[in-house]
Amino acid sequence: VADMKAEYIPPREDVIMQNESPDELYIIVSGEVEMIESEMENEPTVWTFKSGDMIGEVGALCCRPQSYTYRTKTLSQLLKIRTSNLIEAMKTRQEDNIIMIKNFLQ
């Protein structure tokens, strides 16, 4: 997907907010990002994502509000992909569409 944007995000920054509309998904190039249950008072960490992981894809591809907040744990480089750009790429390249869907389901 040609329309990716690399961003450096400092520690403790919210990348995706819980219940936010799914406009983008991210690939973690470096650093760590925590998945947080932000509606609970103590904001427990549910999972920590690392380099090579993707965040926000379920909400983006299923057109549902984000289930969790994603917050950087360390300085992180993320590739941001707009959902609309990804969907357009999937429509125009059917053979790649199959590969992407299989990768998302892993």
For residue 83, what is the domain's CATH number?
Answer: 2.60.120.10
Q: Which among 6, 8, 4, 5 has a CA at the least distance from the CA of 72?
A: 8
Give residue 53's pLDDT. Answer: 95
User: Containing domain of residue 29, as a range?
Assistant: 4-104
Indicate the pTM of the whole model. Answer: 0.83
In this model, does residue 29 exceed pLDDT 80?
Answer: yes
Please count the structural domains in the chain: 1
In this predicted model, what pLDDT tens digit does every residue of 60-101 receive, in sequence order?
Answer: 888 899 999 999 999 999 999 998 888 887 788 788 778 877
In this model, does residue 1 exceed pLDDT 70?
Answer: no
In this model, does residue 51 exceed pLDDT 90?
Answer: yes
